[in-house]
C-alpha cells in the first residue's frame, strides 16, 4: 500500500530533486513521491514531476546492507540490458542510475512508469471473462518462455552469476545456510529433506539461462489488452536452470482446493483461470523443455519456501520483521511445517 505523506521515508527532496533535473531526461521540478512497496525488499517509489510525468525510483531498504543483497546496480544492469533488445520480455525504460550516495545515502535508479494492471488478488480479476483470464495466463507464460530463451552473452548478462551451472545445488546450500544462521528452532524435516534433495538433483539440461527468481502475476504489468506490459522486480534474478525457475513460479499459481498456498490471497483462485497443470503443460509445450522432473522441482520449491518463511519467523522473534501483517509466531511456524510436509509428500514420488 502506498505511503502518501509529502516526503516518504528514504527520500531527501532537495538533493534528489537536483539530481533528477540534472540526470533524468525532461524531468521537471517539483517532484511528488509516494512509497509503493517496502518491507525487507528494495524500496520502490512512484513520483510525478512538475509536468505530470510519472516515473519510478528504486533504492535499497533503509539501514545496513548485507553483502550483495538488495543490489540495485545489479537490477539496473538487467533492465538496461533487456530494455534495449527485442526479446519478448518488456521492462520499464531504464532512465538513469546514481552511484553518489550523498544524494540518498545509497545507490538508486530511475525507470519509466509502466501503466497497466498488477494482479494481486482474485477480487481484482472478479470481473474478467474466462477469455481475459486465459489471455493474461498466456501473456505470463509466454513472457517466462521468452526470458528463458534469451542468449545471455548476446545481451551482455553472461556474468550475472559467478557460475552458470549447478543452480539447484547452489540454492540448496544457500537456503540451508540461511536457516542455520537464523537459529530459530528444531526443524529436523527441513534438514532431512535437504539431504534427500541434494542426493537426487536432476541433470541440468539447459543451464545458464536467466532465472527471474520471483516471476508471478504481482511482479508483472498487464496492458489493457492483456498483453505483457512489463516484467518487474529483478532483485532475485540470476543465471540458472529454467525449469527450476518455472516450477518455483508455480508455487504462486494456486488451484481451488489446495491445502496451502505461498500467497495469502492468490489471484489465480479467481473464476476463469486455468489450473496449475494446464499452465505447466503450456510452458512445456511452448518452451520445448521437459517437465519429467516436475515432482522433484516442486518438492525443492516448497522446501525453499519453508526456508524463506523460517527466516521470517526468526526475524519476527527478534522483533525485526518489518510488519506487513505476517501473523503470529505460531502461525508462521505452522506455515513452515505445512510447506515441509507438502515437500515431503512430493519427494515420496521420486525417492
| Residues near 64 by beta carbon (within 8 Å), at least 6 away in sequence | none
- H helices present in the chain, as ranges: 13-23, 72-83, 101-104, 130-149, 167-182, 188-199, 242-250, 276-287, 294-317, 329-347
Task: For 62-121, write each residue's pLDDT tens digit.
Answer: 865 544 456 899 999 999 999 977 888 999 999 999 999 999 999 999 999 999 999 999
Looking at domain 122-347, its CATH class is alpha beta
Query: What Rg do the C-alpha atoms of the chain give, in angstroms?
Result: 20
Predicted model pTM: 0.92
Domain boundaries 13-112, corresponding CATH code: 3.30.200.20
Q: Is there a shared CATH topology between the 13-112 domain and the 122-347 domain?
A: no
**And the C-alpha cell for 222?**
498487464
Name the residue ranges covered by the structural domains of the chain. 13-112, 122-347
pLDDT digits (tens), the chain, 351 positions: 454 457 899 999 999 999 999 999 999 999 999 999 755 578 999 999 999 999 999 999 886 554 445 689 999 999 999 997 788 899 999 999 999 999 999 999 999 999 999 999 999 999 999 999 999 999 999 999 999 999 999 999 999 999 999 999 999 999 999 999 988 889 999 999 999 999 999 999 999 999 999 999 999 999 999 999 999 999 999 999 999 999 999 999 999 999 999 999 999 999 999 999 999 999 999 999 999 999 999 999 999 999 999 988 988 887 755 444 567 899 999 999 999 999 999 999 877
| Residues near 262 by beta carbon (within 8 Å), at least 6 away in sequence | 251, 252, 254, 305
Amino acid at each position: 500500500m502506498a505511503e502518501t505523506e509529502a516526503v516518504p521515508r528514504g527520500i531527501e527532496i532537495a538533493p534528489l530533486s537536483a539530481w533528477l533535473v540534472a540526470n533524468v531526461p525532461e524531468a521537471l521540478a517539483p517532484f511528488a513521491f509516494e512509497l509503493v512497496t517496502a518491507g525487507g525488499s528494495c524500496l520502490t517509489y512512484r513520483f510525478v514531476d512538475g509536468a505530470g510525468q510519472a516515473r519510478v525510483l528504486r533504492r535499497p531498504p533503509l539501514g545496513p546492507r548485507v553483502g550483495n543483497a538488495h543490489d540495485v546496480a545489479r537490477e539496473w544492469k538487467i533492465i538496461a540490458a533487456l530494455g534495449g533488445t527485442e526479446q519478448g520480455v518488456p521492462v520499464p525504460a531504464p532512465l538513469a542510475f546514481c552511484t553518489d550516495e550523498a544524494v540518498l545515502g545509497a545507490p538508486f535508479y530511475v525507470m519509466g512508469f509502466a501503466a497497466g494492471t498488477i494482479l494481486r488478488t482474485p477480487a481484482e480479476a472478479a470481473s474478467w471473462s474466462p477469455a481475459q483470464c486465459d489471455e493474461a495466463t498466456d501473456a505470463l507464460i509466454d513472457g517466462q518462455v521468452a526470458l528463458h530463451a534469451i542468449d545471455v552473452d548476446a545481451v551482455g548478462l553472461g556474468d550475472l552469476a559467478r557460475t552458470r551451472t549447478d543452480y539447484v545445488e547452489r540454492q540448496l546450500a544457500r537456503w540451508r545456510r540461511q536457516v542455520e544462521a537464523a537459529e530459530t528452532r528444531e526443524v529436523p524435516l527441513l534438514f532431512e529433506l535437504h539431504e534427500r534433495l541434494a542426493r537426487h538433483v536432476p541433470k541440468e539440461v539447459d543451464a545458464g539461462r536467466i532465472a527471474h527468481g520471483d516471476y508471478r502475476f504481482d511482479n508483472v504489468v498487464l496492458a489493457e489488452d492483456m498483453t505483457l506490459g512489463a516484467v518487474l522486480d529483478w532483485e532475485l534474478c540470476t543465471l540458472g536452470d529454467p525449469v527450476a525457475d518455472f516450477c518455483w513460479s508455480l508455487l504462486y499459481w494456486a488451484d481451488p482446493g489446495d491445502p496451502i498456498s505461498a500467497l495469502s490471497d492468490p489471484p489465480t483462485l479467481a473464476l476463469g483461470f486455468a489450473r496449475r497443470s494446464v499452465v505447466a503443460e503450456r510452458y512445456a509445450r511452448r518452451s520445448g523443455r521437459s517437465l519429467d522432473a516436475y515432482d522433484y522441482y516442486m518438492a525443492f520449491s516448497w522446501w525453499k519456501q519453508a526456508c524463506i518463511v523460517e527466516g521470517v519467523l526468526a526475524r519476527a522473534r527478534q522483533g525485526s520483521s518489518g510488519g506487513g501483517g505476517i501473523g503470529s509466531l505460531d502461525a508462521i511456524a505452522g506455515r513452515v511445517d505445512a510447506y515441509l510436509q507438502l515437500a515431503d509428500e512430493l519427494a515420496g514420488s521420486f525417492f
